[in-house]
Amino acid sequence: MPSELERAMESLITVFHRYSGRDGVGATLSKKELKELMETELSGFLKTQKDPAAIDKIMRDLDQNGDGQVSFEEFVSLVVGLSVACEQCYQLHLKKQQQQGKK
């Protein structure tokens, strides 16, 4: 039976491949596919973005080799960055709770 972390990795891979290749280009995400993935799977994150060009900027940042496609390896850097940011918010939340408990 897979562990919780193994299931999370499987889910990450499955979600990536659910959107990749829809435009006929193998196992990569085009800008359109990345936008669809983010609008569906990361809608909460997109709602917090004030910049209407957020997807364009994210695509440029992720497409490290400049081929106009986002590979799984490039996509994972987005997930890692968002995960780190979420963990930092979680730590701030815990710290605030601890400070309120001391009052």
Q: What is the CATH number of the domain that holds 40?
A: 1.10.238.10
Domain-embedded: residue 44: yes
Q: ∠10-11-15 over CA atoms, to 5°? A: 120
Contact 70, 28 (CB under 8 A): yes
11 within a domain of the structure (yes/no): yes
**Domain annotation covers residue 34:** yes
SS3 letters across 4-66: HHHHHHHHHHHHHHHHCCCCCCCCCECHHHHHHHHHHHCHHHHHHCCCCCHHHHHHHHHCCCC
Q: Is residue 88 part of a domain?
A: no
pLDDT at position 103 over 70: no
**Mean pLDDT value of segment 57-70:** 90
| Res. 90 pLDDT band, cuts 50 70 90 | confident
Inside any domain, residue 49: yes
User: What residues make up the domain containing 73?
Assistant: 4-78
pLDDT in tens, 4-49: 999 999 999 999 999 998 887 778 999 999 999 999 998 887 777 7
Q: Is residue 99 part of a domain?
A: no
Greater model confidence, 2 or 101: 2
Average pLDDT score, the chain? 88
Domain count, the chain: 1
